[in-house]
Chain A
Amino acid sequence: MVFSSFFFLFFFLPFSLFSYHLTPNRFKNYSLLALSILFYAWGAPQVIHYVLLSCLADFHIGRQLTRSVSKRKLLLAIGLILNLGLLFYFKYANFFLTQINLLVGSFGASPLEWQGVVLPIGISFFTFHKISYLVDVYRGTAEPAVSIGDYFLYILFFPQLIAGPIIRYHDINEQLRKRALPVDEYFYGVFRFCTGLAKKVLIADPLGAVADTIFKMSPETLPVRYAWLGILSYSFQIYFDFSGYSDMALGLARFFGFRIVENFNRPYLSRNFTEFWRRWHISLSNFMREYLYISLGGNRGSTARTYLNLWIVFLASGLWHGAAWNFIAWGIFHGTFLAVDKCCWLKISSRVPKVLNIALTFFMVTMGWVFFRADTLTHAVQLLKILFCLNDAPYDMPLAAGYVIHFRAQVVFVLAWVLTFYPDDLMKIDRLKISFPRLVTFAQGAAAITLFFLSSAALASAGYTPFLYFRF
């Protein structure tokens, strides 16, 4: 079940809201927990028991961390090994076994027998939540959860369970115990949810269809202009999809009284890679910085050590995104440019006009997306060659534009550019809100309703392609 599905919007969401708000206050967390378990079990019934059992184990480890002073390091290590071990098993075992078999095969030996495992949805996210809990309790940054219900709710809270944002435990622990729900917060949640839904359904999905069509084409026959259209469409798709989903998560969380961290801050306006990672998937950056980069020593060591730490963090980020060489390459790509930033580029770029910095950063980030989107590393390299006209036999196959990008998608493509790059100070919503609060609230409400209707309509018709008649 995803947020942008008919069933979620028109059944699960109203059912959740009714159930939660009709529940007495002291049982609200349990009501929300039950809904979250139902949400996860609906989509991943085969693995819900793994998730619940590992949460139970972590809860008890967390408790012991505060009770057993001498064994704290050992308990933390056990907790981390269990969580990372599960993540490795479910997410990376298939990949590493495949690589081992390729290596073994090249020596003529028979491959190891292995039955691929089913990947629990959201494992990358809730594993990080569990690690955050254990480390925060270990460091004393936060008190352990008062009850098992509160802990389970932190991990399984359905708005952020599948695709984040990654909420550090100390950012939410107080809200688990006590939270309010003023009406204006609720309506702001509605606005965020509806704009997030629109970003995903009205912008990301049409551009995703364009990118999918183009990336499915054989590299031997892919025209250069379509390759550029494809990668640019993908750049916007991934931004609007991910930020839209985060907006929906933020909005949903508000319905239940939670305020969670922003995850995106107009990342394509970044002037360098350092700034990009302060604006893109902010919760991942925060997590990696706090729990990995600083643990490795951060920038407290030598310059070389700092670069190495950055590189390791982004290698881990790449791997976290997916178990494949192209994701690792993507991580290395970003790690390298972050090191370049620290080394010299930040000083050089301060003398370069802002617009040029933004354009250059966007261009480089887009090149990084080639690795992210390609099926394999080889495919990524082929696409890069096409983009820069370096392929051996440049081919300009005649292709009807209507099959690749119809007019609505063209309009959406232009809209994506505008929404991505309009100047920050153009829409002074905060100032308008102070001067004309009712007008802004009314406008936001009208926008939310319109966007919700248009998004629902687009969702409803997305899979509907009727035939005139059965031919057979």
Chain B
Amino acid sequence: MVVALPACTLWIPIPKLLKLRGVTMPVAVPSINIGEILAGTVQSYVEERFKRNSIAWPILVRSDNEVNVNLFSQLSSNYHSHVLLGTENRLFESSYILFPPLSAPVDVERYKLIAQKLSLLQERLQERGVTFLLVVSPSKVAMYPDIIPQEYLIGGKQLRLTSLDILVPYLDEKKVNYVNAPALLKSAESRFQIPFFAPGGTHWNGLAGCLVTSEIANRLDLLMGKSLPRFSCSVQGRLDKPAIGDMDLARLTNIWSEQRFAWRSPRVVRKRFAGAGSAAPRLFIEGTSFTHELRRQFKTAQLFSKVDFYYYARRIISEGGVKGGRPVPVSQVDWKEVENHDVIMMEINESVVSSVGHGFIDEALQRMS
């Protein structure tokens, strides 16, 4: 009877609270024919669907993960887990330490070329009256390398966690407009004494977002010669619960006690010291998931009249989240629509600076040539 229970729950929808979080590859539905049965694809599909539709599955997955956290200080038995438990109960994504490896030589020429292309793009956009700005977002593990547990350090040594230090001299040499958020936040650390990443989040928090947005506003004000809203950021107490985005990794752990990674997010207060003297510009920004926080900040600060977000150079999102966007491969971008913005920004994380633009830069240069 006990082992039959999971099968008996197949017809009961899995409650939302129990559902496992995170994105997995969808299970391909095979055609029901002799060929597929002989190949075993129908059977594999039935087994996989049985598992995913059973209430027992999320209960068991969460239980196993809970055992791992409590007994072994790890999140999953799986060596390919995308989330790792770091020191002091902080979470981070394994991809941030998977590359570049310590022993791999750095291809300096590649970074030179990136800076050259960015400079050329900036120049071409300037000719068209569009301001260009590169924003480099920080990586949680690069900002707080002590988060990495001992067993993931190679011979006890620090891994190379960023290539931004290689790129920056070339950006300066080519006079590319950029905001170095990691450096900015490092300098602000002592002022705030609050981490810029939540224990249970992979992205920068509201305080970091505010500081970087303030710097973006300052830079654009100078570059565009417009009077954009400028403000300072301060912290006044704490919110009662984590802000949106501060628990994204914690939810992905799929454990019963995900609240162990919760924190009370800092209550960020903006103080405007210069108002907008002219019409707010229109922004087109190509970037990663770190751009979501910037979009929230841009909206609160009323920095731009319109924000079009080109998510990983794959989907254009004008309002709402990723699912609300429309898929647009980089080769099919409407360049007139892109040029019809006052500011073009690119956001890239310091851990993967070499993939800045995700193909957008080359396409843009080609279209503008």
Which A positions have Cβ atoms within 8 angstroms of B?
1, 5-7, 9-11, 13-15, 18, 42-43, 45-46, 206, 209, 213, 397-403, 406-408, 411, 453-454, 456-462, 464-472
Considering only CB atoms, which chain B residue lies closest to A209 in the complex?
B79
The answer to whether A457 touches B64 (Cβ under 8 A) is yes
User: Could you tell me the distance in whole angstroms from the C-beta of A68 to the nearest C-beta in chain B?
Assistant: 38
- Against A, the Cβ 8 Å flags (1 = close, 0 = not) of B30-56 are 000000011010010011001100101
Q: Mark B86-114, 1 if CB is under 8 A from A, else 0.
A: 00000001000000001100000000000
A-binding segment of B66-74, B168-176, B213-221, B236-244? B66-74
Closest Cβ of chain A to B347, distance in Å, is: 14
Task: Identify the B interface with A (CB < 8 A).
Answer: 1, 3-7, 20-24, 37-38, 40, 43, 46-47, 50-51, 54, 56-57, 60-61, 63-65, 67-68, 71-74, 76-84, 93, 102-103, 149, 151-155, 157, 202, 248-249, 252, 254, 289, 312, 314, 322
CA distance in complex: A411, B71 (Å): 10
Given A10-B56, A11-B7, A14-B3, also A461-B74 (CB < 8 A): no
Cα(A80)–Cα(B258), bound, Å: 61
| CA distance in complex: A401, B37 (Å) | 42
7 CB contacts below 8 A, A to B, read A400-B151, A402-B84, A454-B64, A456-B56, A458-B64, A461-B60, A468-B289
Which residues of the partner chain A approach B157 to less than 8 Å between Cβ atoms? 398
How far apart are B224's CB and chain A's nearest CB, in angstroms? 32
A369 to B51, CA, bound (A): 35
Q: A464 touching B61 by the CB < 8 A rule?
A: yes
Number of A-B contacts (CB under 8 A): 145
Q: Which residues of B contact A397 (CB under 8 A)?
A: 103
Q: Return chain A residues, CB-CB under 8 Å to B5.
A: 10
Query: Do A467 and B23 contact each other (CB < 8 Å), given the known contacts A9-B3, A14-B7?
Result: yes
- Lowest 10 A-B CB distances belong to which pairs? A466-B22, A460-B60, A14-B4, A457-B64, A402-B151, A10-B6, A7-B47, A402-B152, A461-B64, A408-B72
Q: Given that A400-B154, A411-B72, A467-B24 are contacting pairs, would A460 and B57 also be in contact in the complex, using a CB cutoff of 8 Å? A: yes
Also in contact, A398 and B80, with CB within 8 A (given A461-B64, A464-B20): no
A7 in contact with B252 (CB, 8 Å): no
**The one of B24, B38, B47, B84 that contacts A1, using a Cβ cutoff of 8 Å:** B47
Contacts of A209 on B, CB cut-off 8 Å?
Answer: 79
Q: Is the CB of B252 within 8 A of A6?
A: no
Q: Is the CB of B82 within 8 A of A398?
A: no
Known: A7-B51, A457-B67, A472-B312. A465 touches B40 (CB 8 A): no
Query: Closest A-chain residue to B25, C-beta based?
Result: A467
Instruction: Kindly report which residue of chain B lies nearest to residue A403, judged by CB atoms.
Output: B79
> In whole angstroms, what is the CA distance A399 to B5 when docked?
44
Residues of B within 8 A of A42 (CB): 43
Question: Is the Cβ of B82 less than 8 Å from the Cβ of A467?
Answer: yes
**Does A43 lie within 8 Å of B43, measured CB to CB?**
yes
